[in-house]
Structure 1
Amino acid sequence: MRWTGWGSAIRRWLDDDAFRQSRRVRAIIYAGLGVLLFAILASSMMPPRYHFTVGEVSPTTVVAPVTAVDTAATAAKRKAAEAKVPKQYAQSPQVLTDALNQLATLFHAASAAVENRSLAAPEKLVALRRVAPQGLSSSTLALMLAESPARLAALERDSAKVVQAILSQPFYADSMQQSMLLVDRQIVNLNLGLDRDEAMIVQNTAVSVLRPNMVYQAQATQEAREQAAESVQPVLIHQGDVIVAKNQVVTSEVISKLKDVGLYSAYPSLRVGVGFAVFIALSIAMLAAYVERRAPRRRLDNLMLGILGLVFVLMAILIAVTKWIVAAGGPASTPYLLPISLGAMLITVMMDSSLAVVSAFFFSFLLGAAFGMNYDFVFYGFVGSLVGAYSVSRVTSRATFMRAGFIVSAVNIGTVIALYLLAVSREGDFHSLSLHVGLAALNGVFAAILTMGILPFFESAFGLLTPIRLLELSNPNHPLLRKVLLEAPGTYHHSLIVGNLAEAAAELVGADPLLCRVGAYYHDVGKTKRPMFFVENQMTKENPHDKVAPSLSHLIITSHVSDGLEMLRKAGIPKPIQDICATHHGTTILWYFYHKAKEQDKNGTVRVDDFRYPGPKPKTRECAIIMICDAVEAAVRSMSRPTPNRVEGVIRKIIRDRLQDGQLDECDLTLQDLDAMVGAFMKTLKGIYHARIEYPDIDKLKKEVAK
């Protein structure tokens, strides 16, 4: 009982105009929606962050959220390419020139020493040592001093030939270890015809002046290695690749890959967080601008705005769950199964399709943003939502949802194929295409099933009046309608005709025809409290009002409005139908009982306002239509000869009286709408009160035949 009391109190608070029209509540709803969307989707928009250490066991499977360059692998590959590039050298002719000059200087000094008779042998050796190349042995110098100047000149030429033969070719530093062998080979090749001492002089002097003629080019070597490194294609970490599996040991390579894809950090990305906050703020601002600039008749009150926010929150939760599945190692194609059209379907059924189309933009953008600003998902989500919204724009039964689901599935398949054909990089990936097509086919059916399952919760929790709920309320077996049929059959018949009139009028003036029909069925349920006090239920000529005072009759008649409201509240009938019941007489005057009271009044104290209905006046088109239809049906039914001209005159008089009495001041029906309604009433009433053939008395005919 306590929960029931709380539920009734909350329902009354939600139905209160002070709540529904409060601008402060409206601002809170917009702000709260923005905060909730940010809180739900922030983790989806920002990639998860990990702070592993080398040797730690990973508690989860980490998958690359984006395609990125593997810096460590790429660096290793480039380093290997650089190592394959040899050092760059350039052959220097100056080395040969220097070597020949050294030989000339050496042999010239030897000749001068040999010719100088004034010097002793040791002194000659010392003088020759001063100009001799480093590494030339003293024994070789002594052999040179033992030769004649002419022979030294010949040996100089032989040594120069050997040096020139060697240094005219590339001669590297590594070749210095084999210089003796190279010189011996050249002596043999040149066939110089030397004896043992002469060969040693040529060999040792040539070896002493040999130097590498290949000079290392540091800059050229660096440029060649850089060019080789740049030619290496980078190693990629593809989106969806497993960086580290659950229970796998974390290595330095794993940490490097986490850094490359932006997943290694102890703190979330502040830049991405601020960007997403601005994204949400702009989205809510644009949504608010659209909602607040809608026509007054289509403007959402705070309750409906709150329900719109709940649908946004629901879709945000579905997107966040889908992103969590993908981030946890699930299939990367999971978003194709996300029932993104669910939100548009719910908004269309509970509100209208134009608002659903605008909402579809936001749902698809949120989906694309959650998966790396992927345009494929934006387009896929928007097309599916758009088709879903228009597929349920006219709901006649629950089968409408399944039909809409199949239509969404078919369009989703077409969208997936179109995106596949547009993406050149996916050519030949038929496995992914078939998987995406299968998920897209399930998507629409899944969305339709969820719509049918979720819609009753919104209807019962917030008292929403959806087309499905209206169709259920129009069932003649509803307890209240059966009560009217059994206890007040005249009222039941009256309500059916009012429903026909109201539906025809609503279709012409842009009101809700189904709401008008169902509202007409319930507008007079309060008459079941005292059915015999209403003329349509009186089967005899005896009228109970003849036995009571006019003031009491007024109280009995007007109480059927409050009695009906009480019955509708207890039965859980939604507020729009309650409003129709409360306003179907507005503040009109019971003229019959006013005149009766005035005739009986001897003191002149009767006031016309004492015989008015308590109201309120109609505030919506549907309420105003039911008010006019109720009066039209009662007036036409009471006519003795309902000819078309007389009926039209009565209808126009009723409308004129309601206008003059100010009963239509608070609704947005125009004079053009009222004139169009007259034509709709005439067509409907011709089918109900048409002229009938007067059949002869059957018994009288039988007697005449017998005679």
Structure 2
Amino acid sequence: MAKFSISRQRAVVRKYAVGVKFLLILLCVLLIILALPKQTKFRYEFEKGRIWNQKELIAPYNFAILKTSAELEKDQEAALQNISPVYQLNEDVQRQQVEGFVNDFNLKWASAGLPDKVKSRYLEMGRTLLNHVYATGLITLGIKNQPATDNYNVTAVNKNVASAKNTSGLFTKEKAVTYFEQELTLHNVDKAFMLDLLQNRLQNNLIYDDKLTSRLKRDALDNISTTQGMVQKDEVIITKGSVINDEVYQKLVSYKKYFEDSARANGNRWQVFFGQFLLVSLTITLLIIFLRLFRKDIYQNNRLVGLILLVITAMLATLSGAIMLQIPNLYYIPYCIVPIIIRILFDTRLALNIHLLVILIAGFYVPNSFEFAFYEITAGMVSIYSIKNLLRRGQFLTSALIITLNYFAAFVGISFIREGDISSIEWLEFFPFVVSVMLTLLAYPLIYAFEKAFRITSDLTLIELTNTNAALLREMAFKAPGTFQHSLQVANLAENAIYSIGGNALLVRAGALYHDIGKMENPLYFIENQTAGFNPHDKLSYEESAQIIIRHVRKGVEMAGRANLPDDIINFIRTHHGNTRVDYFYQSFLKNFPEKFIDENIFRYPGPIPFSKETGVLMLADSVEAASRSIKEPDAKSISDLVDRIVNYKLNQNQLKDSDITLKDLETIKTIFKRMLMSIYHVRIDY
């Protein structure tokens, strides 16, 4: 009944797991579609200077020809040149300053030491000079957004009546002082007395009106026509085989703009939505099929499927946001971040597959789709290849440099094809690619976040775990030095073997280093830690000794859990003995107590058996290394016989049936074990 209940529970879990998986897929498709811009796609791709290989293109309706960016800039410059800076005339300034001059003059005349008979002449001359300056206009030059010269046209506004003036005919404070000096010298008056009074009464009566000037400029720019000429319905835009020259290119650009604007205004959004649904569903379905055929371990894990769908959705949502925000260049987006994350968390094939699907979808919403696809597919491939074997963090910077070089080579090549002249290349257009590569480095913290959120073990984490200065390994080296040395030897054997048959060598090494941490609880009960011939098992029964030995697996799992080691590492601890017997104590019990009945499970590890190449190789390496220590006089034959016997025993005990290791793989593993053990024990090989 218990077994039946458990099997039913597992069936229910599998049933609902499938439902959850397809719910995740549907949610991903809908989120991507909701994020993508709801716009129709112009069916033709074209570039200036290329040959038109499509059929003859005839205008289906009338549309205006858009001006080029250069033409619009020229028109804008011409329009702005016709707008003079606006100054408001303040008539009160003249009256106030002249009255102030008269008051100052009367106050200071008595102390000037001049005869009273010239007082009226001096006063009248000062008033005349000030009135002349203010009647002409007193202005300040060099205000923002104005020509950097002393001679330009301005518009003076007096009571809403505008008049055109030139700054050469107006006074500045400097010009006014010079004028005063000349006139005072000419009329033979006390220049020092009068000049001091006059220059203190200089205040601009023409005030720059920035608000009105800016409004006039905006109005002028708004009134510029963005089109020039028309293409009539049924007019031939371009014939097949013709070169796309400047004139035709502008007609095609105009046709595309009119088509997309018209479709956006009059098109059926539901049909666009349905089209996007078909395309996105197709790409996601292809991804799921890939997982089902080639990565069943990921396909069966909804947590990992959810992570992959999240990364895809986030990337396409970022692209959609950039399109809606109308950023200057869509190449600022770090598209290579997706393949890097997937490569580090999973593998190369999956990373390339997902990157291709993302770029295929994105290609519908970016200009020059083929160029975009070439840039990003090659960059994605380079990013994946450059971190195929991630052994140190500095490889991220190396990868970023290689991606940049790839972008540069593609940029130069495409520019030569398009322009045919190096002098015509706009080198600043490469800047977005540099920014994109810099943003790609955000993959590093994102990988850490995904590892923690989805409980995934990346190569970066494995690199940290294989550092022998890690806390658990330092503790084992102190408490159980013999076990620590054993683990190092097992790591070397397993790593070389898995590298030869194909597998994750870094994962095997990490698993090997931690597989026996449970021995730290009672290190002296394990032979590699015993010294001076003392063996605590001599005081225990065979059953008790077996249980202490077996318990190191459970204790290792508990220690690993407390240390927050990844599940992938804990699996090595669980499976490195499978469900084999502790044969030494079992056989000793049978030999000494043949008449007694004994439950064999007391002497058997709880399992499970290894379920991957990596865990299977570790089991073999662990058993071979431990057994090799018992060889009294190691030579080539004894080592070879030992390795063959251990591997055959594991096969006969069905310990490797779930590990996906072939007979050919086993022969390779045995050869490597024999060669390495001979090297360890300094055995000379007869040639």
The answer to whether structure 1 residue 454 and structure 2 residue 436 are counterparts is no
Whole-Å separation in 1 of the counterparts to 2:606 and 2:541: 19
Q: Residues 640 and 38 from structure 1, CA distance in 2 versus in 1: closer, same or farther, beyond 3 angstroms? A: same
Structure 2 CA distance for partners of 1:361 and 1:300, relative to 1, 3 Å: farther
Could you state the TM-score of these two structures normalised by the residue count of structure 1?
Answer: 0.63
Q: How far apart, CA to CA, are the structure 1 residues paired with 2:455 and 2:264?
A: 46
| Equivalent in the alignment of 1:343 | 338
Among candidates 625, 638, 649, match of residue 630 of structure 2 = 638
Structure 2 equivalent of residue 319 of structure 1: 319
Distance in structure 2 (CA, Å) of the matches to 1:435 and 1:271 = 39
Matches within 5 A, 1:376-455: 376-423=371-418, 430=424, 433-447=426-440, 449-455=441-447
Which amino acid letter does the alignment assign opposite residue 670 of structure 1? T
Tell me the residue number matched to 2:176: none
Q: TM-score, normalised by structure 2?
A: 0.65
Q: What is the CA-CA distance between 1:36 and the residue it aligns to?
A: 2.5
- Does the 8 A contact of 2:334 with 2:436 survive in 1? yes
> The residue matched to 1:663 in structure 2 has which SS?
coil
Structure-to-structure mapping, 1:295-310, within 5 angstroms: 301-310=301-310
Change (3 A) 1:413 1:580: same
Displacement, 1:557? 0.7
In structure 1, C-alpha distance between the alignment counterparts of 2:360 and 2:345, rounded to whole Å:
22
Q: Secondary structure at the match of 2:580?
A: coil
Q: Distance in 2 between matches of 1:387 and 1:19?
A: 43
How far is the alpha carbon of 1:689 from its aligned partner? 1.4
Moved more, 359-368 or 629-638: 359-368
Q: Distance in 2 between matches of 1:593 and 1:548?
A: 11
Matching residue of 1:90: none
Q: CA-to-partner distance for each residue in 1:249-303, whole Å, 9 max, x for gaps?
A: xxxxxxxx899444436x9712211100000111112112222111668876433
Aligned partner (choices 493, 502, 517) of residue 525 of structure 1: 517
Would you say the 8 A contact 1:360–1:385 is kept in 2?
Answer: yes
Q: Which runs of 5+ in 1 are unaligned?
A: 1-16, 49-67, 76-225, 244-256, 693-707
After superposition, the Cα gap between the structure-2 partners of 1:582 and 1:20, relative to the gap in structure 1 and judged at 3 Å, is: farther
Q: For residue 271 of structure 1, what is the amino acid of its counterpart?
A: Q
Q: Aligned partners of 1:71, 1:577: CA distance in 2, in Å?
A: 69
Distance 2:667 2:236 in 1: 82
Residue in 1 aligned with 2:585? 593
Paired residue type of 1:357: L
Could you tell me whether the CA contact under 8 Å between 1:38 and 1:276 is conserved in 2? Answer: no
Amino acid at match of 2:621: C
1:70-219 correspondence runs (5 A): none
Give the whole-Å Cα distance in 2 for the aligned partners of 1:610 and 1:503: 32
Per-residue Cα deviation, 1:354-398 (whole angstroms, up to 9, x for no partner)? 111111211111221222682222222212111111111111111
Match among 531, 550, 556 for residue 542 of structure 2: 550
Mark the CA change 1:42 to 1:482 in structure 2 (over 3 Å): closer, same or farther: same
What residue number does 1:489 align with? 481
Verify the 8 A CA contact 1:409 1:442 in the aligned structure 2. Answer: no
Cα distance per residue 1:399-449 (max 9 Å; x no partner)? 11111111111111222333333446x989947x423312123322321x1
Percent identity reads 27
Counterpart Cα distance in 2 of 1:20 and 1:582? 26
Which string of whole-angstrom CA distances, capped at 9 and with x for unpartnered residues, describes residues 214-251 of structure 1?
A: xxxxxxxxxxxx9999699999799799x9xxxxxxxx
**Contact 1:488–1:527, Cα closer than 8 Å, also in 2:** yes
Q: 1:572 aligns to what?
A: 564
Please tell me the residue identity of whatever aligns with 2:524.
M
Max Rg structure? 1
Show structure 2 runs of 5+ residues with no match. Answer: 1-8, 41-58, 67-230, 238-246
* Contact 1:586 1:616 (C-alpha < 8 Å) held by counterparts: yes
Per the alignment, residue 364 of structure 2 pairs with 369
Cα distance in 2 for residues equivalent to 1:499 and 1:36: 41
Q: 1:658 to 1:24 in 2, by over 3 A?
A: same
**For the residues of structure 2 that align with 1:565 and 1:277, how far apart are their CA atoms?**
46
Distance (whole Å) between structure 2 residues aligned to residue 512 and residue 675 of structure 1:
19
CA distance, structure 1, for counterparts of residue 442 and residue 349 of structure 2: 21
Instruction: Give, in whole Å, the separation in 1 of the partners of 2:334 and 2:518.
Output: 44
CA distance in 2, matches of 1:588, 1:442: 57
Please tell me the residue identity of whatever aligns with 2:469.
N
Rate the CA distance shift 1:21–1:284 in 2: closer, same or farther, 3 A: farther
Question: 1:587 and 1:34 mapped to 2: Cα distance?
Answer: 42
